[in-house]
Structure 1
Amino acid sequence: MSAYLRARVAEDSGQGTEAVAAYTRALADAPANPVVAIRAYREGLAAGDAALVRHAATALAAAGVAPDDAALWPLVDAARANDPAAVERALPALDNGRLRILLPALRAWIAAARGQDGLAIEAPKDDAVARRLVNETRALLLIGAGRLPEGIAATQALGGTIPSGAQLAAAELLIGGGHDEAAATLLGRRPGQLAAARADATARPTLAFGVSRLLLRLADDLGGDRPSSLGLSFARAALDADPGYARARLILAEQLALADDPDRALAQLALVPADGPLGATAAGRRINLLDAQDRAADALAAARIRAEAGDAVAVDRARYADLLVAADRPADAIPFYAALTKDADASKNWATWLRYGAALDQAGQWKDARRVLRRAVDLGPQEPSALNYLGYAMIEHGEDLPDATRMLERAHALAADDASIADSLGWAYHRIGQTPRGLPLLERAAADAPANAEIAEHLGDAYWSLGRRYEARYAWAAAAVTAEPPATARLATKQESGL
């Protein structure tokens, strides 16, 4: 119990090494306790402690309460050793839970490893997922056997607008065999996908290759914006089966980040070779994770390195510029946004010009900002955010109020539920002397975004101009709750003296 409590405290405090050591001791002291075993199992998975994971999985199986994913570890150990007999011995444990969908595809890989016809393996006709996995496996086996036209055709038949894990695996085999052009065609010449395939290229599809790609394909399916214990297990197992699998490390880092384990996610990203094909991808994800963890200085420093690197691309410069603006350094961001407007692809994107114009505006360069923001609207005439920014900025600068108001009316028509746009239009009506017309918009915006200090201040100003003094002071007081300097001082003066 003492070791278990120490483990729980260390786990809750983010002390991963201490937690693993304490869970290892607790499991040795209480090998039959399923509560200890399941906590030890999950901590071992997050930490990547293979011994703790396997010890805890054995204890859970002995207690009859093992989760489905506990059956993965004998499988991946056998695959890593390229031992088809051991892989086959691991299959029965998969046959009584959610992972039975893997069985037909695994049998195909076992047959191929033994020199038999893995292409003859069939999936149950009533199991669409297992059948899909078998079809993907057949495509890889065809390419691995040198039957490129058939394998490529089978891979293309899988469909999808974005390359799937199976299509990436096929490209890995093609690049490993020296067929780079075929791989590029298969992946639609997407640079990021090609980099991922190049990082893990191999000419020979071993059991480790087959099992790792199969499991990571399922981890991909379980991705998204919510944590998944099974997704984490699949990603960890894929990496265990093939420890050099760089894309598995990226997906594992994503799963750890979703599980609110940023330090371990960052540690995984640090293990992706910086000078390899996926180095820039790993660096970008590290920057995003640091920013999400409110480590703005670290994120900014890492983003600068990427933005100034010799192989920097548009997304690197955009990321750094965005972080500079978020750090209240819009003037420093301007050169990076300007460089984006000379990029062949980024220059055609209205959002590039909008962000550039916003930085110029915030840096006090309104004349240049207006020209750039006009370009954003020209490129995105139906984009409410572009219309809103330019229209509201013109209102604030007192320029061509009728045209600005018309622009905001178009933005509101396109995004009637957007509180910020409703506020902009309501404020425009107030500024052109039509406050009664603008008041319902401001009231609705304030109701939809009660924490927005600027909207609440606008509402207070409108109330005051209509002689509704008590309501005005109430709105200003509400704005003061979330406002930041210098708005707080301005709101205090308004509450005391009015307009």
Structure 2
Amino acid sequence: MTRASFSTTSPSAPGCKRLKGFLLGAGAAALAGALIVCAPSPLKAEVNDADEIGTAEGLPITLSGSYLSGRLAGQSRDIANAAAFFQEALDSDPGNAFLLDRTFVLHVANGDIDRALDLAERLTADQPDHFLARIALAADAIHMQDFDRAVKLLDRGTRGPLAELTGRLVRAWALAAQGKTDLALESIAALDGPDWFNVFTTHHAGLIQELAGRSDAALDNFNSAYAADPGALRVVEALARARARAGDTAGALKVIDGYRKIIPGHPVMRELRAGIEEGGEIAPMVDAHDRGAAEVLYGLGAALGRDGGEELSAAYLQLAIHLDPKADIALIALANLFQRIDDQARSIELLQRVDDKSPLKRDAEIQVGLNFNSLDNLDEARAHLQKLVESDPGDLEAVTALGNVLRAHQLFEEAGEAYSQGIATIDADPAERNWTLYYYRGICYERVKEWDAAEADFRKALALSTDQPLVLNYLGYSLVDRGLKLDEALGMIRKAVELRPQDGYIVDSLGWAYFRLGRYEEAVVELEKAVQLRPEDPIINDHLGDAYWQVGRRLEARFQWNHARDLKPEEEDLAKILDKIENGLSEANTENGAVTEPEKKNGG
């Protein structure tokens, strides 16, 4: 079995699943697919200290140097440094229209709103059609309660579906704030665009009507938005609240239960459901016009971040937070964006701004711990997550996050203890979704050579989730590795391959099982498939080399071992590969006719 077969991110990454699903689902996907956004190069961004932004102190600042540094930072998706370097370039050439535009966009994306607004004034003077500059100025005007200025800024026509949708919806909220509800709704109704506009237009028309006291009309629009996209959290929340406020408790709970099938245990839905069942007063989702405009920018910004439009997505989300600094959902969306571009320090800062009273606070704190781990700060990650688990061992997201972090660092005993804390809270009546906890703990037991306990956990995971391919693969291979229950074990691995025929790691497990059983010709067939599926994995290539050697294909064996060497295996694996390149597959590195499996790495 390969190292990646035991990847710590499978079947679900050690992230907080409850933080997912905030977007306007189908509408968001359509928007992201329909827009042509200049996406930065997908290079890894470095985390920068505030003191290290821009040209280092004492070094000369030149136009060309700052411009080229800014471009490199932008390609690396390092928004903070890109903004700083382009500002330096603009200072050197203040009349350059390109530098002005680029610096403005980067400052908005970085959250430097005051600087961005100064540049937006210059931009709109020279480029009246610059839609993002006018959106930024209009958002600030709404923030300052200057709704008339916001409307005037957005009166000018725009080009492109994103600009048209954003401008018209934000303008509608500014009109509604002036008491011009009918005009606001007419403005939204006049929007002419593709079908995916509908979920945004009906959603916001409903929110405006609800705030104006037009409950029946609002409910009709919320129902329309829900019909267009029943998997969108904000659409579901708005409809559930509206139904509850109308006295339709059963209808409200039905909508919440439908969403629970998509994302079980979502804290927003859990809290809303509890409030409805208790019969308390249910507030509308949006209770102020500036927050309505923030909702526009959040919804569109979160959608933009899906398909590589991180810079524009960050700009929208930063403006949403400027309008509503306590918008927990926008803070989390922006934190997730910075996490995706490998700026975990910025992600942590945003997550820690989530209000303590927010239903999302605990999930945000779980993600903070995971971000510490991504910054290679294991001690901070462990302490942060352990504190959360100790405060609520029944929070299985926190338990899983802590266990997965420890397991990724091969601290298997500690990881097993973490999973056990969560299992103790559900062991009397575990649900199907709890199979992962038993699977993960089984891996930990297997790695510390407590096989009986490991097998029991794997079989418990299978009892909860029948034919789960990851468990079948791990348990089946482990049995083969021990020479136990071979017929059952091989059947498990074959079933896993049948369920996931394109998973190179699982296919490799089948090939390697055949190898361990001395069925070398069959091993070659499966391992060749595995290499085609995962050509970049050194251990799969190493396995194929071993199989080639055993069937007499010695030149091909050494070719595969050399290729495995070049793919940079881990140090202990590399030593074994180099020995085989030099000496072949000798009696010294075989056991009972089969190569001894290198010690497994990462754990599941």
Structure 1 position 72 matched with structure 2 position 120:
no
- What residue identity is the alignment partner of 1:235? L
Report the equivalent of 2:407: 325
SS at match of 1:417: coil
CA drift at 1:251 = 1.7
Counterpart residue identity of residue 287, structure 1: G
Q: Post-superposition shift, 1:139?
A: 1.9
Preserved contact between residue 10 and residue 16 of structure 1 (Cα < 8 Å): no
Paired position in structure 1 for 2:396: 314
Spell out, residue by residue over 1:325-347, the C-alpha distance to the aligned partner (whole angstroms, 9 max, x if none). 11011111112222333435656
Task: Indicate which of 27, 51, 65 corresponds to 2:114.
Answer: 51
Deviation of residue 390 (structure 1)?
0.8
1:196 touches 1:247 (CA, 8 Å); kept in 2?
Answer: no
1:252 matched to 2:319? The reply is no
Identity across the alignment (%): 24
Pick aligned residue for 1:113 from 177, 180, 188: 177
Query: 1:413 & 1:203 partners in 2: Cα distance?
Result: 46
**Alignment check: 8 A CA contact 2:497 2:506 kept:** yes
CA-CA distance at 1:395 after TM superposition: 0.9
1:34-433, aligned counterparts within 5 Å? Answer: 34-64=97-127, 67-93=130-156, 95-97=158-160, 98-106=162-170, 108-118=172-182, 121=186, 123-124=189-190, 126-127=192-193, 128-148=195-215, 151-152=218-219, 154-159=221-226, 160-168=229-237, 187-188=256-257, 190-194=265-269, 205-224=287-306, 226-274=308-356, 276-310=358-392, 313-341=395-423, 342-343=425-426, 348-433=433-518
Could you tell me how far apart the structure 2 residues matched to 1:16 and 1:466 are?
54
The amino acid of 2:104's aligned partner reads: Y
d(CA) in 2 for partners of 1:311 and 1:142?
A: 43
TM-score by length of 2: 0.72
Which region of structure 1 is more displaced relative to structure 2, 77-86 or 443-452? 443-452
Stretch of structure 1 that moved more, 56-65 or 393-402: 56-65
Q: Which has the higher contact order (CA 8 A, sep 6+)?
A: 2
Going from structure 1 to structure 2, the CA distance change for 1:109 and 1:423 (only over 3 Å counts) comes to closer
The size of the alignment, in residue pairs, is 498
Structure 1 length normalisation: TM-score?
0.85
Higher helix residue share: 1
In terms of mean alpha carbon deviation, does 90-99 or 50-59 score higher?
A: 90-99
Q: Distance in 2 between matches of 1:348 and 1:325?
A: 20
Give the partner amino acid of 2:133. Answer: A
Who is 1:455 aligned against? 540
Name which of 575, 580, 589 aligns with 1:489. 575
Contact 1:354 1:386 in 2 (8 A): yes
Q: Is there any run of 5+ residues in structure 2 with no aligned partner, and where? A: 1-59, 276-281, 588-604
Following the alignment from structure 1 to structure 2, what is the Cα–Cα distance between the partners of residues 293 and 184?
41
2: distance between equivalents of 1:195 and 1:29? 54
In the TM superposition, residue 318 of structure 1 has moved relative to its aligned partner by 0.3
Alpha-carbon contact 1:269-1:282 (below 8 Å) kept: yes
What is the distance in 2 between the residues matched to 1:52 and 1:178? 48
Distance 1:346 1:394 in 2: 26
Deviation at 1:283, TM superposition (A): 1.9
Give the residue type in structure 1 aligned to 2:332.
L
Residues 95, 4 of structure 1: alpha-carbon distance in 2 compared, 3 angstrom cutoff: same
Distance 1:109 1:32, change over 3 A: same
Q: Counterparts of 1:285 and 1:175 in 2: how far apart (Å)?
A: 32
Query: Is the CA contact (8 Å cut-off) linking 1:439 and 1:462 kept in structure 2?
Result: yes
Matches of 2:79 and 2:191 in 1, distance apart?
A: 45
Counterpart contact for 2:511–2:524, Cα < 8 Å: yes
CA distance in 2, matches of 1:140, 1:21: 38
8 Å contact kept, 2:109–2:312: no
Q: State the Cα distance separating 1:372 from its structure 2 match.
A: 1.2
Tell me the amino acid that sits aligned with residue 190 of structure 2. Answer: P
3-state SS in 2 of match to 1:55: helix
Q: Which amino acid aligns with 2:189?
A: A
CA distance in 2, matches of 1:262, 1:29: 32
**In structure 2, what is the Cα distance between the partners aligned to 1:93 and 1:30?**
29
Partner of 1:158: helix, strand, or coil?
Answer: helix
In structure 2, give the amino acid aligned to 1:41.
Answer: F
Q: Root-mean-square deviation (CA), in Å? A: 3.8
Secondary structure of residue in 1 paired with 2:141: helix
Distance 2:65 2:270 in 1: 43
The counterpart of 1:446, out of the listed 525, 531, 543, is 531
Contact 2:111–2:315 under 8 Å retained in 1: no
The CA distance in 2 between the partners of 1:69 and 1:310, in whole Å, is 44
Q: Distance in 1 between matches of 2:336 and 2:506?
A: 34
Alpha-carbon offset, residue 66 of structure 1: 6.4
Q: Which region of structure 1 is more displaced relative to structure 2, 371-380 or 290-299?
A: 290-299
Instruction: Report the Cα offset of residue 34 of structure 1.
Output: 1.5
Alpha carbons 2:468, 2:496 under 8 Å: kept = yes
Bigger mean CA deviation after superposition, 81-90 or 382-391: 81-90
Q: Distance in 2 between matches of 1:434 and 1:33?
A: 70
Deviates more, 1:21-30 or 1:361-370: 21-30
The superposition leaves residues 404-444 of structure 1 with CA deviations (integer Å, 9 ceiling, x where unpaired) of 11211222222222222222222222333322122111122
SS in 2 for 1:115: coil
Instruction: Note if contact 2:181-2:209 (Cα within 8 Å) is conserved in structure 1.
Output: no
